[in-house]
Structure 1
Amino acid sequence: MVSIVLASHGDLAEGLKMTGSMVFGDQPNVATVSLMPSMGPDDFRQKVEEAVASFDDPEDVLFLVDLWGGTPFNQISGLFDAHPNWAILTGVNLPMLVEVYTARFDASKSAHDIAKHVISEARAGVRVKPESLEPEEAKPAAVAAPAVHQGAIPEGTVLGDGHIKFVLVRVDTRLLHGQVATTWTKMTNPDRIIVVSDAVSHDDLRKSMIMEAAPPGVKAHVVPVQKMIEVAKDPRFGATKAMLLFETPQDLLRAVEGGVDIKEVNLGSMAHSVGKVVVTNAIAMDNDDVETLEKLAAKGITFDIRKVPADSAESFDAMIKKAKSELAAQ
């Protein structure tokens, strides 16, 4: 796996690393080197050398640096010629870091491979709202993608094998947010994100916020549970790769009982409220949640319990046992 050095003036590098961990989970072989006012160039260079020496592979390193021509860049460049497999990217931002984390899951990719791939993604991460402020030459090309509502396609038409593909099914109280829009989307590559919720489908403000939060190239839709049941049975969606987001396990159970063919569910977040007990750092449950999840498990559905791909999965049985114990003690 490619090693990463985040280098900057001041605390920018450390802040990016912390924020990246919130979005993507803690990452191995990532170091920060910060140029502070009390440091000279030689002090900074020594910190860089110490960071590189701490890596499992000090010869395949990608440096994400704040400014081209600044002291951090210049000092790293002074070491660069002796290490032909190193690569440096300047103008580091959060989209760049997330894309680097995603790309290095492929152990066959070198620092050069990742740098070449990531540079366009980092530039695309600079966007403006209102969109009318975008310079004409900077506006991203529209990405053609089939809409969930495909009324133009005659009923009975079969696309692909006639069965919608679920690249990820997730229960998350927050629905479409940073961890989902970046990390999970990049890991699963859907062409649709479908939020399945009766409540949200009748809330115009929440619907609008969700649709705007979709990452570039992926359309987001909000549908009630019954509509999702209909879509899952419609052969016109056979060429669709969808990420399904449920706000509650109860909505998920209704969808499964209605015939939506779901095999595995990622439990990402279930928010705490009155009457619920906290069973992991992201999941709280009441008796109804426990019963609902057990009904889903009884139908053969397996659970992947983690917020982001980098997290270690929690045990479903241990989580349910803890919830029952703490609810009984209330």
Structure 2
Amino acid sequence: MRQQGLSPTPAKFLPPNPKSMVESAWNMRGSYTLRQITPDQGVVTSLHLTSKYIVVALDNAKIHVCDPNGDYQKTLHGHVKGVWAMFPWDDILVSGGCDREVRVWNMATGVGIMILRGHTSTVRCLKMSDPNTAISGSRDTTLRVWDLATGSCRNVFVGHRASVRCLAAHGDLVVSGSFDTTARIWSISQGCCLQILSGHSSQLYTIAFDGQRIATGSLDTSVRIWDPRSGQCQTILQAHTSLVGQLQIYGDTLVTGGSDGSVCVWSLTNMALIHRLVAHDNSVTSLQFDKNRILSGGSDGRVKVWNLQTGQLLRELYSQEDAVWRVAFEDEKAVIVASQSGRAIMEIWSFSRPPNDQDGTIHVGQQPGQNCGL
């Protein structure tokens, strides 16, 4: 029996949770724009997505800088051959390639700050450990540590017997992977090699280092986990049947991608395989993951979104006949660069709620293909 004098309590309206709306958009909605990166022939060799820029490097010697929405800002001209490596830090970009030079740019102005010379073959990988320190690895078998404040070479690391293919940096330590089948740990401050990581039977193509663990991927199909203090191999992870060319560490999880088309999710707590995803019909060309999802791109022309915890395929973001070169994402945005009908194109996906969309619906649509102003 209702008590007299009391009115029913009205139901409270709870506005949609922005976080859950973003998750929902990743799973089934979203909006995207399409850009043509360049009218020239060119293969995308590197992609970086930052809070300020989308930066794309190509094998035609050009570096294109766009704003976070994918609108063209400028092209950085200076390299005379293909650009094979680059790394951004706020407004600063370091780049290197076949002309054996490391160039330092201000992306805000488009001005080249300095040219760093010393390598005698292609610069294949680049990292920055702080705003004034860049590390380059080259096919000439050496690494060079550059002081960006003075433009001088602080150190030359000699020891590898073949091309330095990949780098990772954390604090004072740099880890390099080489076609000589070894990885090496170097101290920037001491200017010397601390450990040689031997065990792989073929070339190293990719490396990750989070300060606690080093992961290396090789043509021998294995992934090895190393202790950076002792240099000892802690475990060998076997699930791929071909080259392991992609890997990333996030927390206690490792995700790897191979030329066999598979993406593997590993626990670094018990060094065990959690999921083996049959992801692509050919090589996994790019991948990135966070605590919720994995984004993988392949030479089969597809980009797929996976649930990290369950391994479930959530959706395909992109499906064309040509290859996907690179993918990158942050919480509410994803960038895909690919070859489409002989053109280098870029898709920018947004998973945020449009400000005038009162019901939370995020509409899917394609803007007409646009040249980035090049």
Q: TM-score higher than 0.5 here?
A: no
Structure 1 length normalisation: TM-score? 0.30
More strand by share: 2
More helix by share: 1
Structure 2 length normalisation: TM-score? 0.28
